[in-house]
Amino acid sequence: MTTKTTGTRTIRGRDVPAPGRYLIDPSHSGVQITARHLMISKVRGHFNVFSGSIDIAEEPTESMVDVVLQASSIDTGDPQRDDHLRSADFLDVEHHPEIRFRSTQVRAMPNDKWEVSGGLTIRGLTRTIAMDVEYSGTMTDPWDNVRIAFLATGEVNREDFDITWNQALEAGGFLVGKGLRFECDVEAVRGTKPVDG
C-alpha cells in the first residue's frame, strides 16, 4: 500500500490539519536541545521519553497542545554528563520528574508560520514561552491512520527556571551557556486517548 494525503484544509489561505485530537507518536518524533559549551561550541541532546496531544480546533487559533517530557530521559551521549544534568544542579529529576508544556495561545504569523505560546514547567517553575511552529502536512499511513506533522523551535533562559549552576572560565565567560535552544519534530496520530499525567 502507498501513503496518500488527506485531512488538510485551507483557511484564510493557509493549509491546516482537519479538526480532532492527535496523539504524539514518540517513535516518529524527537525533542532536541542545544546548549553552548565553553562559549565556543555546542552540546546537543534529546529526551527519549515523552507523550502528548494536539487538539486541532475548527478555528486553528483555538487549538491546544499538551506535552510531557520525562526529565530523567535526557540523553547527550555522555553518561557522566547526563547524571549531572539529572542532579539537583540542573533538572533535579528526583523531585521534579516531568517537564511540561501547555499552550495558551496560537497566532498566525507571516510566511505560513504559527506562534504557539504557553506555560513551560521545569523544576516546578512555570514560565511563558513562545515557539515558532511550521505545519509540515497531513498523510494517511498504510494502516489508514491519519498523521500530522509539525516543526517547533524556540529558546529559553535556563536561569528563569532556577537552573543556575555554572563555572567561571579563567579566560572569561562560563562553562555552560544560559540559553537553551530546542527543536521539536512532531508526528501525531488522530486518536482519542488523553495525554498522560
Rounded to two decimals, what is the model's pTM? 0.87
d(CA 182, CA 197): 22
Distances in Å between the Cα of 159 and the Cα atoms of 12, 23, 99, 143 are 39, 31, 15, 45
- Give residue-wise pLDDT tens across range 9-31: 888 888 899 999 999 999 999 99
- Give residue-wise pLDDT tens across range 148-176: 999 999 999 989 998 886 655 455 444 56
Which residue in the block uniquely carries the three cell numbers 482537519? 18
- List the CATH code of the domain at 8-190: 2.40.128.110
d(CA 64, CA 61): 9
HSE of 188, CA atoms in CB hemisphere, 13 A: 32
In the chain, which residues have pLDDT < 50? 1-5, 38, 169, 172-174, 194-197
Name the residue ranges covered by the structural domains of the chain. 8-190
Q: 130 with 154: CB under 8 angstroms?
A: yes
Q: What is the pLDDT of residue 131?
A: 96
